[in-house]
């Protein structure tokens, strides 16, 4: 399990990557490549950041595996190989999530990586017509987060925020079931 300090460092790193993006760069593609580089860190088996030699021997190393599904990227994070196996139900849930987002929130969207940890799911992307980034998280940091520069407040923006909030409820319900199912499968 990634401790809170490591998670915070990872989120700060992603934030810095986003802030370094030049104007006009396709958010989904450029951040996807940089996050893939971040993912390679986990694949190499770096430890979760323990300082004590005794602790580092007893702690399993974090691993991750990414899957491309209909143009989207889903990354599983686990300490063992069995936790890196993607089921058909999870593939269907991911595809349905993207399709529902397009239908219910905005058809002009770039999706980032959906990261699935043993106790948390994180998904981000960008609503292009508002130049607004969104971040959904269930687990330790439940909620919908948005980010944007100098976004004009208007009724359409208020409507979009409402749609994001409404969609988050569906996202949370769907992915909480997936997490629960993964825990049952791993424990069997």
- Whole-number pLDDT of residue 27: 46
Polymer length of the chain: 188
- Domain map of the chain by residue range? 4-187
The Cα–Cα gap between 60 and 55 comes to 10
Q: What are the pLDDT digits (tens) for 107-126?
A: 999 999 999 999 999 999 99
Residues 6 or more apart whose CB falls under 8 angstroms from that of 25 comprise none
pLDDT > 50? residue 30: no
Average pLDDT for the chain: 79
Q: Tell me the pTM.
A: 0.66
- Give Cα separations from 66 to 30, 38, 136 (angstroms): 16, 12, 19
pLDDT in tens, 137-152: 998 889 999 999 988 8
């Amino acid at each position: 399990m990634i401790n809170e300090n490591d998670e915070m460092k990872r989120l700060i790193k992603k934030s810095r990557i986003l802030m370094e993006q030049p104007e006009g760069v396709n958010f989904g593609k450029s951040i996807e490549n940089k996050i893939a580089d971040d993912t390679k860190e986990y694949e190499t088996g770096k430890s979760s950041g323990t300082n004590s030699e005794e602790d580092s021997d007893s702690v399993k190393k974090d691993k991750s595996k990414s899957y491309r599904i209909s143009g989207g990227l889903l990354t599983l994070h686990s300490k063992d190989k069995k936790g890196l196996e993607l089921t058909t139900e999870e593939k269907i849930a991911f595809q349905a999530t993207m399709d529902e987002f397009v239908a219910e929130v905005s058809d002009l969207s770039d999706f980032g990586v959906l990261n699935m940890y043993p106790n948390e799911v994180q998904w981000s992307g960008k609503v292009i017509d508002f130049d607004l980034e969104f971040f959904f998280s269930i687990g330790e940091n439940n909620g919908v987060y948005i980010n944007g520069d100098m976004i004009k407040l208007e009724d359409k923006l208020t409507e979009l925020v409402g749609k994001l909030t409404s969609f988050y409820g569906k996202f949370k319900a769907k992915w909480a079931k997936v997490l629960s199912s993964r825990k049952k499968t791993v424990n069997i």
